[in-house]
């Protein structure tokens, strides 16, 4: 995953039909597991851009997108945030969410 800033995600919202922004914290154990799952997911859906950032360095994102906890996956479709995922249940679950984000 590429490291994104909030501006990178905003640009993706304008340019890409579907994209995702993975928000995490360095010392979060659950985030480390979620990162590994997203690394697999990223390989399976190469047409969906997925960026990541550590909220410790991009705190304003948490305010602007009303992020309640980490890990958090923001999924946008056609410029609108359609999902905020906090429970990264499994790789198949994440694949389903990215392939059909409005479901």
Tens digits of residue pLDDT in 29-44? 999 999 999 999 999 9
Average pLDDT, the chain: 95
Q: In CATH, what number is assigned to the domain containing residue 51?
A: 3.40.30.10
Choose among 9, 7, 19: nearest CA to 82: 19
The pTM assigned to this predicted structure is 0.94
For residue 103, pLDDT over 80 is answered with no
**Residue 38 CB-half CA count within 13 A:** 29
pLDDT score of 102:
78
Q: Does residue 1 contact residue 38 with C-beta atoms inside 8 Å?
A: yes
Question: Domain tally for the chain?
Answer: 1
Mean pLDDT of 69-95: 97
Q: For residue 82, what are the domain limits? A: 2-99
């Amino acid at each position: 995953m590429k490291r994104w800033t909030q501006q990178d995600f905003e640009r993706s919202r304008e340019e890409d039909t579907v994209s995702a922004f993975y928000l995490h914290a360095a010392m979060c154990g659950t985030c480390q597991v979620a990162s590994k799952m997203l690394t697999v997911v990223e390989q399976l859906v190469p047409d969906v851009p997925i960026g990541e950032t550590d909220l410790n360095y991009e705190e304003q994102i948490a305010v602007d997108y009303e992020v309640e906890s980490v890990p958090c996956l923001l999924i946008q479709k056609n410029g609108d945030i359609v999902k905020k995922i906090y429970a990264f249940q499994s790789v198949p679950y994440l694949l389903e969410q990215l392939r059909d984000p409005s479901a």
